[in-house]
Each structure stands twice: as C-alpha cells, then as structure tokens.
C-alpha cells in the first residue's frame, strides 16, 4: 500500500495498543498470561501458504536449552546469537550473559555472533541456508544493528530479554544492506517478535537470491496477538505473500529508536493473510496511501484477527481499493479511511477515526459500523449531483452514528443525496441523526434535512439509508413512485 498501489502503512506508533490511545504506548496489549523464556521457542507454522498440512518436526537448538518447533529443518540449520559488545567491554565467548549491543551485521569481517551460552568465540555471519539470527540482549537496551551487504536468513528472532525484564528492550535494524530469504527448506522465511515492544526493520527484504523463496511469516514467540510487534519502516521487495501467523506487523510508523516523530512509510507486495492470533497495522501519516493488496484471514473462523488503520495524527487518508470480503476479523480505524474497496468483519471508528468519500465512490464496511471510544471523528463527504443516488458507504449490518459527526460539501442541485446504506439496526441521535452536522454548498435560504429510510421487511427486503434531502424553491422534494415501500423517517427541516 502506498502511492504507487503497493500496500503501505503509515505512522502512528510503531506499536499497537489495543485499549488506549495509539499515541500512548508502544506495547501490544494482551489478555493472555505470558512467561518469559530464557531460550526462544519458535511457534509451529503451517507448511504451506494457506491451510495446508500440519507436518511439523522438532529439533534441538544448538544451545540444547529449548526445542524449536516449526517447518522441517535440515540438520545443518545453524543458530547464531548476536553479541556485539558495543561499549560495554563484554567479551564474546567467555560464557558471560549476552549483551547484544550496537554493531555491524555483515558477511565476513565482523565477529559479532556466538552460541546461546556465549561460550563460542566470536564468529562472522554464515550466509548458508537455514541460518537463524537471535537478538536476545539484556532488558532495557535499545541496540542499533547496521546491516552491510547481502544477508541470507532463515528466521530472525527479535527482542527476547536475557534475564529480568521482558518488555523494555527493542532493536533497530538499519543500514545500506539487504536481506534475502534463505530457509533450510520450504518456501518462506520468518521473523519472530519476542516481546510486546516494537522491533523495527529499515532494511529491505528480498526473495531468496535464486528467486525460489518469496513468502514471509510473522510470528510472536508466545503465539499470541499481543506477544510481539514487528514494524517495517521501509518498502519491502519480496514478491510473495505476507502471513501474520501470530503477533503483529505494522507497515510504517515510528522506528524503535524513540517515541516521537518522524514517522516512516512502508509497503509490501502480494496478499496479506492474517490468522486468528495475528494483527496488521496500516499507516498513512506522511501522504495519502493507496492499499491495493488483498487482505484476508487464514480461515473463515479467524474472527479475532485484527486490522488497525492509523495516520499518526495527520490528515492523510488511507485509500482502500482492494475487495476483501474474506477478511472476517475486526477493524479499528483511528486514522481516515476512504476508497472503493471493501472489508468484512466488524468495523469500529475510535478516537479521531473518520470516513471520507466523494460521491461516485462506495466503500463497503463489513458486518457493522460503530463510532465509539470517545470519538472525535465522523464522516466527511463531498456530495455530487451526477452520482447522488450512489451511497458513499455501505455496511450489511448495524450502524451506530450516535457519537459521530457529519460534515458534507454539497455540489449541484440534486434533491436526494444518499450517504450511508445499512442493513441492520440504526443507532442515531433523535432528530439530528448525528451528534453534529455541518453542510456547505447549499444555497442560502434553501431548506434541507437529513432523512432515514429504514430497512424493508417482509416483501420489502430493501436496505436502510441515511440521506440528505434538499428542497426546491417551493419547499418540495421531487417524488417518485416506489410501489408501497416503507415511508421514510421524517427528521424535520434542518435548513
């Protein structure tokens, strides 16, 4: 998603906070109890792109301290632990706790890697397929890893604490180099988030160097949605799909080096598949972003999947153009969503979350739409005469606008402008429908009113509609025979 049609994501935090304001926390909250693991354990991953088999194998980590569960791995798989000493004075290979501080990640020349117990003298990165990178430094450290050259990897583990703590350390991976997928077997590489805080990657990830591996899996170490957050702050180059098996992936946002602006953009190619324990965050902070990627849940029962749409407090829109009825999870909007695409599942607009469209474009929003959580946002619309009969927004279920505002610029001289079509119950403010309404473009002295047509019942299986009626000079609305459909609710004159 981005201006050129890729999937991009924009600012707001490089972390998720499901309950509080997006500007308040870098952490992903989870209701599940987590236990810190001294040695990382990789979650089981499905062997194929979608719902394929469950052939899993286990193999003992080189450290001998934990079992690795995942895709079948060759016996030659290699686990390397980052232990650059930075300015700490620590010695690689002396058996002391891993510090894993600032350093350069390259092939040859930088001996910043060891084994799990730090008993192996420093070695350089192995670019062989099946090499796994562990970043498990002490809590509260924020190391910057500088990537130089082409780095092959199977799985990257980010952020597990070595000792006490658990949520206060994160990594910033940046540099002039590039990552290439190189699993021991299979068609995907993996990135695992190991703590709630964001781990940011500003280095592009490419297909394998022979072009055979194209998909990327995102996982959390404990298998929960709140167990790990990976933030991409640059455009990714791999051409396959992105599978969020657990934890969260943020496309854009802040890098993990601080809690203040600037925000970054990011994009991926291909479909984005979100599992029940997965979450996706999309940003539009520095410019309007167009999302043309397909987004869907792994199965039709993955209703706990999560999509957040944010803009980092900017006025930039996320423009959805892809049709995504197979996404059945929840969507939270705290940015501005627009476009001609669709989402399945329930949609909530929270805090400053808003919808925008120009008549002639219809955005289809799942099974219900609700404005909630201390909302300050609402609906902004450009109403146009030529396409006045086409609704700007559609939901198949219930619609709650009792806490929403409506701001509309009226162009032309149509009598009826359809705004929001719905299929279930309508929760509104009696008499005004919205919390507040602001109209511009209507000629002075012209009467108008908001109007509700309730969904039809029985023989009249017609959807409901919120619409604007504009009266002519005789204070009349052009009337058209409609069989015997239910009469519209009379909201009263507001002009």
pLDDT over 60 (residue 183): yes
Mean pLDDT over 76-97 rounds to: 87
Three-class SS of the chain: CCCCCCEEECCCCCCCCCCCCCCCCCCCCCCCCCCCCCCCCCCCCCCCCCCCCCCCEEEECCCCCCEEEECCCCCCCEEEEECCCCCCCCCCCCCCCCCCCCEEECCCCCCCEECCCCCCCCECCCCCCCEEEEECCCCCCCCEEEECCEEEECEEEECCCCCCCCCCCCCEEEECCEEEECCCCCCEEEEEECCCCEEEECCCEECCCCCCCCEEEEEECCCCCCCCEEEECCECCCCCCEEEEEEEEEECECCCCCCCCCCECEEECCCEEEEEEEEEEEECCCCCEEECCCEEECCCCCCCCEEEEECCCCCCEEEECCEECCCCCEEEECCEEEECCEECCEEEEECCCEEEEECCCCEEECCEEEEECCCCCEEEEEEEHHHCCCCCEECCCEEECCCCEEEEEEECCCCEEEEEEECCCEECECCCECCEEEEECCCCCCCEEEEEECCCCCCCCCCEEEEEEECCCCCCCCCCCCCCCCCCECCCCCC
Mean pLDDT over 138-166 rounds to: 80
Identify the pLDDT of residue 161.
Answer: 63
Identify the pLDDT of residue 47.
Answer: 31
Whole-number percent of the chain with pLDDT over 90: 64
- 165 vs 248, which has greater pLDDT? 248
Identify the pLDDT of residue 233.
Answer: 92
CB 10 within 8 A of CB 231: no
Tens-place pLDDT, residues 270-317: 999 999 999 999 999 889 999 999 999 999 999 999 999 999 889 999
- Classify burial at 443, counting beta carbons within 10 Å of its beta carbon; exposed 0-12, middle 13-18, buried 19 or more: exposed
CB 274 within 8 A of CB 297: yes
Identify the pLDDT of residue 436.
Answer: 96
CB 1 within 8 A of CB 289: yes
Q: Give the separation between CA 136 and CA 95, rounded to whole angstroms.
A: 15
Identify the pLDDT of residue 139.
Answer: 63
pLDDT over 80 (residue 50): no
Average per-residue pLDDT in the chain?
Answer: 82
Q: Give the separation between CA 145 and CA 199, rounded to whole angstroms.
A: 11
Q: What φ, ψ does residue 386 adopt, rounded to 5°? A: -65, -30
Identify the pLDDT of residue 19.
Answer: 35
Tokens coding 218 = 């995102």
Tens-place pLDDT, residues 96-133: 988 888 999 999 889 999 999 999 999 999 999 999 99
Tens-place pLDDT, residues 316-342: 999 999 999 999 999 999 999 999 999
Mean pLDDT over 420-433 rounds to: 96
Q: Indicate the pTM of the whole model.
A: 0.83
If pLDDT is split at 50, 70 and 90, which confidence band does 473 have? confident
If pLDDT is split at 50, 70 and 90, which confidence band does 162 have? low
Tokens coding 428 = 């509104």
Tens-place pLDDT, residues 221-277: 999 999 899 999 999 999 999 999 999 999 998 876 655 678 888 999 999 999 999
If pLDDT is split at 50, 70 and 90, which confidence band does 460 have? low
**Least-confidence region, from 62-66, 287-291, 372-376:** 62-66
Most confident of 42-46, 157-161, 328-332: 328-332
Nearest to 40 by CA among 118, 92, 116: 116
CB 323 within 8 A of CB 293: no
Q: Which residues pair with 383 in a beta bridge?
A: 410
pLDDT over 60 (residue 38): no
- Classify burial at 127, counting beta carbons within 10 Å of its beta carbon; exposed 0-12, middle 13-18, buried 19 or more: middle
If pLDDT is split at 50, 70 and 90, which confidence band does 51 have? very low
Nearest to 296 by CA among 287, 305, 285, 284: 305
If pLDDT is split at 50, 70 and 90, which confidence band does 89 have? confident
Identify the pLDDT of residue 62.
Answer: 33
Q: Which residues pair with 392 in a beta bridge?
A: none
Mean pLDDT over 25-52 rounds to: 36
Identify the pLDDT of residue 54.
Answer: 32
Identify the pLDDT of residue 435.
Answer: 95
**Least-confidence region, from 40-54, 90-104, 163-177, 317-331:** 40-54
């Amino acid at each position: 998603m981005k201006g050129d049609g890729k999937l991009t994501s924009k600012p707001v935090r490089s972390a998720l906070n499901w309950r509080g304001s997006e500007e308040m926390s870098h952490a992903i909250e989870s209701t599940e109890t987590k236990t810190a693991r001294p040695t990382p354990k990789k979650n089981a991953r499905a062997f194929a792109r979608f719902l394929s088999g469950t052939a899993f194998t286990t193999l003992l980590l080189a450290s001998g301290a934990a079992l690795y569960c995942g895709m079948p791995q060759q016996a030659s798989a290699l686990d390397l632990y980052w232990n650059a000493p930075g300015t700490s004075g620590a010695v690689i290979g002396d058996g002391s706790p891993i510090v894993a501080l600032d350093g350069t990640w390259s092939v040859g020349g930088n001996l910043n890697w060891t084994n799990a117990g730090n008993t192996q003298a420093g070695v350089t990165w192995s670019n062989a397929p099946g090499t796994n990178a562990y970043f498990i430094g002490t809590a509260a450290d924020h190391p910057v890893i500088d990537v130089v050259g082409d780095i092959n990897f199977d799985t990257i583990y980010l952020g597990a604490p070595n000792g006490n703590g658990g949520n206060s350390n994160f990594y910033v991976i940046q540099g002039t180099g590039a990552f290439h997928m190189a699993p021991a077997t299979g068609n995907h590489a993996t990135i695992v988030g190991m703590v709630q805080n964001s781990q940011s990657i500003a280095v592009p990830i490419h297909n394998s160097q022979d072009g055979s591996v194209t998909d990327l899996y995102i996982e959390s170490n404990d298998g929960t949605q709140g167990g790990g957050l990976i933030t991409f702050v640059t455009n990714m180059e791999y051409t396959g799909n992105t599978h969020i098996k657990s934890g969260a992936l943020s496309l854009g946002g802040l890098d993990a080096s601080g809690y203040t602006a600037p925000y970054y953009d990011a994009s991926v190619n291909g479909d984005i598949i979100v599992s029940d324990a997965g979450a996706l965050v999309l940003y539009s902070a520095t410019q309007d972003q167009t999302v043309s990627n397909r987004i869907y849940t792994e199965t039709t029962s993955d209703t706990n999947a999560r999509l957040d749409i944010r803009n980092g407090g900017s006025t930039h829109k996320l423009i959805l153009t892809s049709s995504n009825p197979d996404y059945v999870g929840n969507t939270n909007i705290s940015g501005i969503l627009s476009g001609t695409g669709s989402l399945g599942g329930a949609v909530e607009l929270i805090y400053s979350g808003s919808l925008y469209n120009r008549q002639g474009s219809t955005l289809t929003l799942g099974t219900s739409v609700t404005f909630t959580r201390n909302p300050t946002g609402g609906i902004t619309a450009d109403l146009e005469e030529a396409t006045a009969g086409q609704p700007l927004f559609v939901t198949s279920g219930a619609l709650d606008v009792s806490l929403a505002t409506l701001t509309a610029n009226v162009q032309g001289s149509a009598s009826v402008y359809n705004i929001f079509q719905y299929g279930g119950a309508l929760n509104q403010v009696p008499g005004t429908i919205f919390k507040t309404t602001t109209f511009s473009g209507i000629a002075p002295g012209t009467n108008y009113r908001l109007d509700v047509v309730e969904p039809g019942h029985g023989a009249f299986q017609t959807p409901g509609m919120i619409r604007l009626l504009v009266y002519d000079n005789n204070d009349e609305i052009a009337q058209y025979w409609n069989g015997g459909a239910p009469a519209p609710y009379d909201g009263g004159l507001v002009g």
